[in-house]
Amino acid sequence: MSDIQNLQTFDPFADATKGDDRLPAGTEDYIHIRIQQRNGRKTLTTVQGIGSRYDKKKLVKAFKKKFACNGTVIEHPEYGEVIQLQGDQRKNICQFLIEIDLAKEEQLKVHGF
């Protein structure tokens, strides 16, 4: 019976939970990385959607040290804790988050130009 492929029990959702080991389920899976223009050549980079089990303050500390920029954590009623960094750090953040295994590449969504 199990020789016939069609009769084998197949769970189509078996691999659906794969992405959950890094980001908690329920929340949106994406980490949004955005850029915003300020006056002149200056920019801000915001990172939204990092899971609640990561300490944003510590992350910011690491970001600041690594990318040599300033940054803060901003508490937003709708979007939760958002990391805000000075300058265009989109590439750096992507690289960093993948390196430390916080997120996979397909979970990052880079916005802006």
Under the rule (CB under 8 A), what is the footprint of other proteins?
A: 32, 34-41, 43-44, 46, 48, 74, 76, 79, 82, 84, 87-88, 90-91, 94-95, 98, 105, 110-113
Pick the closer one to other proteins by CB: 35 or 102. Answer: 35
Pick the closer one to other proteins by CB: 60 or 82. Answer: 82
Q: What gap in Å lies between CA 89 and CA 76, rounded to an integer?
A: 21
CB of 40 to other proteins, least distance (A): 6
Pick the closer one to other proteins by CB: 38 or 61. Answer: 38
107 CB neighbour count, 10 Å cutoff: 17
Pairing of strands 31-37, 80-86: unpaired
Pick the closer one to other proteins by CB: 2 or 12. Answer: 12
Q: Which residues contact 71 (CB under 8 A, 6 or more apart)?
A: 60, 63, 64, 83, 84, 85, 86
Q: What gap in Å lies between CA 1 and CA 3, rounded to an integer?
A: 5
CB of 21 to other proteins, least distance (A): 21
CB of 19 to other proteins, least distance (A): 17
